[in-house]
């Protein structure tokens, strides 16, 4: 997959997360402040990153373009209604 395709896929994923947030109709608040260490789970069928933290799965926008094995530590951050996974 070339850079343009990755960028388009990332933008599509970000849009899906934003639409889902808007459909919930509430001003979401994070479950934690700042950044925490989560554990990579997988990409779902839509390309949304799933990260486990304290027994809960978070849908994230991924900041990184590499393949990760399940259980890899990632930085999970909440900002302006969106969870981000950085690796």
pLDDT of 82 reads 86
CA 61 distance to own-chain centroid: 3
pLDDT for 5 beyond 70: yes
What confidence tier does 1 reach under pLDDT thresholds 50, 70, 90? low
What confidence tier does 37 reach under pLDDT thresholds 50, 70, 90? very high
Q: In this structure, are residues 20 and 28 in contact, taking their beta carbons and an 8 Å threshold?
A: no
Output the domain CATH number for residue 56: 2.40.50
76 is written with which tokens?
Answer: 């999970």
Domain total in the chain: 1
Least confident of 19-28, 38-47, 52-61: 19-28
Number of neighbours of residue 51 by Cβ within 10 angstroms: 26
Task: Please indicate whether residue 73 or residue 10 has the higher confidence score (pLDDT).
Answer: 73
Residues 6+ apart with CB under 8 A from 7: none
0.85 exceeded by the pTM? no
Boundaries of domain holding 76: 3-86
Give the pLDDT mean for 64-85. Answer: 88
């Amino acid at each position: 997959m070339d850079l343009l395709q990755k960028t388009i896929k990332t933008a599509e994923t970000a849009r899906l997360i934003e639409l889902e947030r808007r459909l919930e109709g509430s001003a979401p608040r994070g479950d934690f402040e700042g950044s925490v260490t989560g554990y990579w789970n997988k990409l779902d069928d839509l390309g949304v990153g799933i990260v486990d933290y304290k027994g809960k799965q978070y849908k994230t926008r991924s900041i990184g373009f590499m393949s990760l094995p399940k259980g890899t530590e990632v930085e999970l951050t909440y900002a302006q209604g969106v969870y981000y996974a950085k690796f």
